[in-house]
Amino acid sequence: MKLTRLLPLPFAATALISGCATTPGACDPSREDFLNNTSCLASGAYQQRQRDLESTLSAEQGRNRAFRILLADLELEKTATRSDLRAQQAAYARAEASWRQIKSSLAAASSSNPALATRVRQIDEDLSGLEAGKRAERDALANRVRLLQQELDTGIYDDI
């Protein structure tokens, strides 16, 4: 008869222990702690932890989608910029070739005409200045592209 009176005691102890306050952050199902795990299960902390983790996952997936959209936009911009750059380089090459042709045709005349020689020299200097400015701008853009490539290589924009 004493044995039957003692049986409900473990169940009462478990119920008493499971009534202890636990927080979702303290509940980790991978920990091997029977009393804590029982308390977490009974208090609903495991369910709250799961909801919290699902919420965090959802927020991170949203950020990931935003980064993917940004990356796609950057790829489109890169393609457009490359196309624009090629068109500008071709136009610059045509203008430079045209200038060289005009300059060579004026070489004889400019040697006898100081005003024409001065004008040709000014145009040469202006073209050199423009070329230097474009070179600096191109180098700055190349640095930005290199930084973006490093970010992509390190996986900053990868799936989480």
In the chain, % of residues over pLDDT 70: 84
CB neighbours (10 Å) of residue 116? 13
pLDDT of residue 15: 47
Mean pLDDT estimate for the chain:
79
Angle between helices 114-154 and 45-112 (to 10 degrees): 160
Q: Which two tokens stand for residue 68?
A: 């993917």
Residue 59 lies in a domain: no
92 belongs to a structural domain: yes
99 and 37 inside one domain: no
pLDDT, residue 10, reads 52
CA distance to 26, 51, 53, 133, per residue, from 42 (Å)? 14, 16, 19, 71
In this structure, the answer to whether residues 100 and 145 fall within a common structural domain is yes
Average pLDDT estimate for 71-87: 89
Closest to 28 (Cα-Cα) out of 12, 6, 50, 9? 50
With 0.75 as the threshold, say if the pTM is over it.
Answer: no
Report whether 65 contacts 56 (CB < 8 A): no
Residue 39 CB neighbours (<10 A): 20
19 shares a domain with 87: no
- Reported as a single tens digit per residue, the pLDDT across 23-64 is 766 777 777 777 777 888 788 888 888 899 999 999 999 999
3 falls in which pLDDT band (50, 70, 90)? very low
Pair 32, 102 in one domain:
no
Binned at pLDDT 50, 70 and 90, residue 72 comes out as very high
Q: C-alpha angle with apex 149: 146 to 150, nearest 5 degrees?
A: 90
Q: Are residues 73 and 123 in the same domain?
A: yes
Query: Where in the sequence is the domain holding 25, given as residue range(s)?
Result: 12-43
Distance separating alpha carbons of residues 34 and 22, to the nearest angstrom: 13
- pLDDT tens, residue by residue, 109-124: 777 788 888 888 898 8
Residues 99 and 125 sit within 8 Å (Cβ to Cβ): no
If one counts the domains in the chain, the total is: 2
- 150, 90: one domain: yes
Check pLDDT > 80 for residue 16.
no
| 131: in domain | yes
Q: Are residue 133 and residue 81 in the same domain, yes or no?
A: yes
